[in-house]
Structure 1
């Protein structure tokens, strides 16, 4: 499928930390098969942070969605069952010792744009946290 045609993939993720690795490897395969290898490293980092947050900080299932929109926008998003908004990204300063709290700061630093939106579907509530990378 050429880069000038839109496409979208979704991956259902059980509440299991191993799903982060599965999501990262699946994303690498998708981007490689679509000829977008130049975006793989940053996209993997972003997807890892989004999916990790969805799995670590919520109790239900989650999902990864990857969408390509010509002429060159890659949107990566993770949904989860928790309707609470994500914690705002904290500055990197003073976090050198901390293992937690850097995920959305990395997303903000590496993505062109990011955001979140509440979800309501079939009586379920949750949220969708997304970011975009430009390939142009």
Structure 2
């Protein structure tokens, strides 16, 4: 009889200022956390996708962001990024999810959310607040890798 040990679960949270260096700080945090928990096999996609989401918070919002890394008991790692803007971009909306259109090869940007579709096992997004009295609540975008 083979016994399978469940993965250790853990969670880390980090508040990021609206600053051009926030994506670098997020990448360094992801690298440190995954290395300390022996999860280097998923480092590249988690680091890349985290960097893309945090970069978008800097480019498309005016406030701070938050990053949360959570190890789930089935071996997946979930990354959530909160910001204060209410719009949920494709492909994070509710099913059926819009797909991100291809980006022209000569474009300087616009590939980050398409990378989520390519490298994450699953993803989603939630608006936070009711949109009337709680205008600053924003949204949470998340993705999972591994497992």
Provide the TM-score with structure 2 as the length reference: 0.83
Q: Deviations over 1:49-92 (max 9, x none)?
A: 11111111111100111100012111012110011122445333
Matches within 5 A, 1:83-94: 83-88=86-91, 89-92=99-102, 94=103
Q: Equivalents in 1 of 2:47, 2:125: separation in Å? A: 19
Candidates 71, 75, 87, aligned match of 1:72: 75
Residue 133 of structure 1 deviates from its aligned partner by 0.6
Counterpart residue number, 2:96: none
Tell which structure's C-alpha radius of gyration is larger.
2
Q: Which residue of 1 aligns with 2:84?
A: 81
How far, CA to CA, are the matches of 1:113 and 1:54 in structure 2? 20
Structure 2 segments unaligned to the other structure (5+ residues): 92-98
Q: Deviation above 6 Å: which 4+ runs of structure 1?
A: none
Matches within 5 A, 1:42-61: 42-61=45-64
TM-score by length of 1: 0.89
Q: Residue 3 of structure 1 contacts residue 35 of structure 1 at CA under 8 Å; is this kept in 2?
A: no
